Chains A and B, each alone.
Chain A
Amino acid sequence: MSARGTLIALKAIAWIWAALTSSAALAAGEQIESDISSRNIAIESNFTGERIVIFGTIEKAKHAEFEISPYDIIVVIRGPEGPVVTRRKARVAGIWINRDSHTFKSVPGYYAVLATRDLKAVAKPDILNANGIGFQSLEFTTFGVQNNAALDAGLNAFRSAAVRIKQKDGLYLYDPKGVKFVGRSLFRATVDLPANVPVGAYATDVYLLRDGKVLSHNRSNLTIDKQGFERFVYSAAFDYPLLYGIIAVIIAVTAGLLASALSRRD
């Protein structure tokens, strides 16, 4: 057996050991179970946004007091990722025009964090970052190599601007009181998705924490897609753009002829 083969075998043993011990630990400790009120959201012509409810329960919750829960719940909803350009305006010859820009490789189109209390009080930043919780955990990496401190400092303004604008558009959300306990171990979080919510695959991660440590994690998936007429128009425009344009003209010509026939009858 080669050194390489030995290494793989060792890794496999280590992995199995880790899996066994962690599942044993989980079996002993608290676990979280959760789901979303709807797993498929259809954008149709009357779509003005949608309210979703993430709910769940803590299995094997160990606390005597009814009122005060020692647990913290964090809900993270993450939409499809894609490249985003952030531009900054500057005054040139008296008018404000886009000057500098940075393209971030993969930015979630939607990102919401809801918690039982302020994230800072729930856990240390490294725990939050490792689990992708909070705006500060979002990786705004640019194209090309970026290990330059000065450049990085300049980029920060663009990063925080991207988050700020997404928040203003209702696409990024942080609600430190968004998760509510209902009774001892039942919890719920309500999120209003805006009308401009991007389509695609969403992941909803629910974390159970106690004393700053993640005890359990549960993921549900959510799909947002244009449906019916909206889907038909959208996919026609992007899959058959030339044909779409020609049909748009035919519709307009027909409307024009119709209008002229109607006005002539008067």
Chain B
Amino acid sequence: MFDIYLPIAGMSVNLLVILGMGGGVGFLSGMFGVGGGFLMTPLLIFSGIPPAVAVATEANQIVASSVSGALAQWRRGNVDIKMGTILLLGGMAGAVFGVQLVKLLREVGQVDLMISLSYVTFLGIIGSLMLIESLRAIRRARAGNPIPARRPGQHNWIHGLPFKMRFKRSKLYISAIPPLLIGIFVGVLAAIMGVGGGFIMVPAMIYLLRVPTSVVVGTSLFQIIFVTALVTILHSATNQTVDVLLALVLMIGGVIGAQFGVRAGQKLKGEQLRALLAMMVLGVSLRLAFDLVVEPDELFSIGPAFGGNQ
């Protein structure tokens, strides 16, 4: 009835299911203020979309969600263009490397493994950290103690690095090397995991670079737009794995879901929200880890041959 054939994935899916997935993840990203790529890509893989197509198509969807997110932040003046540009330079280099890595691993049949391993590792780490942090916050809130404010002006090893630059909007005078490295790392993740990488970039900017919290989200969204756009173009040119039809359905679902998510998020408490999100992130990570560890029913798999001469 509502079946729709995806031209690049080469399969028929139920339109309502994909819309629902886009809407559900959009709702969560609106509620928690996260990109949602780290939930969407595994969901697409679980529903049978080839992992390489899931990653590239999700990068395409994130372009849309980060454009609308970044615009909202931009209007409030929360984007540090200079910092964002340095992050972006690194991100572009990382994206180019990541897409080539995907191409290489696709040819030797290890791309699914790498995508799973990346997800298990990063979702496992981030999920655990978030869960610990939010449980502490809940306990503190119950005890009635206020959350201690971050002390600005602390110096760490980053301040000893060369190539210092002044970032006016972030009120920082630091080396360009750390943001460049963070950008590269996030760019690689964007290309191989189909994520914006906000879940790495935001904590890295807060805890390592000491960027004021107010500009962190806007600046990271600014970088994500361009990196995921580049990832989309590179994946399309190199691997032909971007399914625009799938991306479009996900975008529509995501936009609608996010609208409701933002409203729902305003009514819930921050710590409980974060604990809930942390448990979901851990759940996805465990599910992927389970699939890697347990002996599969079918040890064999088939796929198209690349190059052909081996």
Contact residues of A with B, CB < 8 Å? Answer: 43-49, 82-91, 94-98, 101, 103, 143, 157-158, 161-162, 164-166, 168, 195-196, 226, 229-231, 233-234, 237-238, 241-242, 244-249, 251-253, 255-257, 259-260, 262-263, 266
Find B236's partner among A95, A101, A143, A245 (CB 8 Å cutoff): A245
The interface stretch among B135-143, B160-168, B226-234, B276-284 is B226-234
Interface: B247 (CB within 8 A): yes
Of all A-B residue pairs in the complex, the 4 with the closest CB atoms, nearest first, are: A256-B67, A245-B236, A161-B300, A195-B12
A–B pairs, 22, beta carbons within 8 Å: A44-B5, A45-B245, A87-B300, A143-B308, A158-B300, A161-B300, A162-B300, A233-B8, A237-B7, A242-B237, A244-B240, A245-B242, A249-B60, A249-B233, A251-B244, A252-B251, A253-B63, A253-B64, A257-B67, A259-B258, A263-B259, A266-B259
Residue pair A252, B61 in contact (C-beta under 8 Å): yes
CB distance from A182 to the nearest CB of B (A): 31
Q: A83-B304, A256-B66 are in contact. List 19 more A-B contacts (CB 8 A).
A: A45-B245, A86-B301, A91-B295, A95-B292, A96-B295, A101-B109, A103-B308, A157-B300, A161-B298, A195-B5, A195-B11, A196-B12, A231-B7, A233-B7, A242-B233, A244-B236, A244-B244, A245-B233, A253-B229
Interface: B309 (CB within 8 A): yes
Residue pair B251, A255 in contact (C-beta under 8 Å): yes
Instruction: Enumerate chain B residues within 8 angstroms of A168, measured Cβ to Cβ.
Output: 298
Segment 1-47 of B: residues with Cβ below 8 Å from A: 3-5, 7-8, 10-12
Interface: B156 (CB within 8 A): no
Measured in the bound complex, the distance between the Cα atoms of B292 and A165 in whole Å is 20
Residue pair B302, A165 in contact (C-beta under 8 Å): yes
Find B113's partner among A97, A103, A158, A266 (CB 8 Å cutoff): A97
- How many residue pairs at the A-B interface have CB separations less than 8 Å? 189
Find A252's partner among B63, B300, B305 (CB 8 Å cutoff): B63
Residue pair B295, A257 in contact (C-beta under 8 Å): no
B295 nearest in chain A by CB position = A96
Interface: B71 (CB within 8 A): yes
B70 nearest in chain A by CB position = A256
Interface: B255 (CB within 8 A): yes
Measured in the bound complex, the distance between the Cα atoms of B8 and A143 in whole Å is 28
A-contact 0/1 string along B234-255, CB 8 Å cutoff: 1111101010110110011001
Interface: B147 (CB within 8 A): no
Instruction: Enumerate chain A residues within 8 angstroms of B245, measured Cβ to Cβ.
Output: 45, 233
Q: Number of B interface residues, CB 8 Å?
A: 58
Residue pair A234, B7 in contact (C-beta under 8 Å): yes
CB distance from B276 to the nearest CB of A (A): 24
Residue pair A103, B67 in contact (C-beta under 8 Å): no
Instruction: Enumerate chain B residues within 8 angstroms of A161, measured Cβ to Cβ.
Output: 298-300, 302
Known A161-B300, A256-B64, A256-B66: A248·B236 in contact at CB below 8 Å: yes
Find A83's partner among B238, B299, B300, B305 (CB 8 Å cutoff): B305
Residue pair A47, B110 in contact (C-beta under 8 Å): no
Residue pair B304, A47 in contact (C-beta under 8 Å): no
Measured in the bound complex, the distance between the Cα atoms of B71 and A255 in whole Å is 13
Residue pair A230, B304 in contact (C-beta under 8 Å): no
Measured in the bound complex, the distance between the Cα atoms of B302 and A83 in whole Å is 10
Find B248's partner among A82, A143, A162, A251 (CB 8 Å cutoff): A251
Known A196-B11, A245-B234: A96·B71 in contact at CB below 8 Å: no
Residue pair A252, B308 in contact (C-beta under 8 Å): no
CB distance from B119 to the nearest CB of A (A): 13
Residue pair A241, B300 in contact (C-beta under 8 Å): no
Find A84's partner among B61, B66, B293, B305 (CB 8 Å cutoff): B305
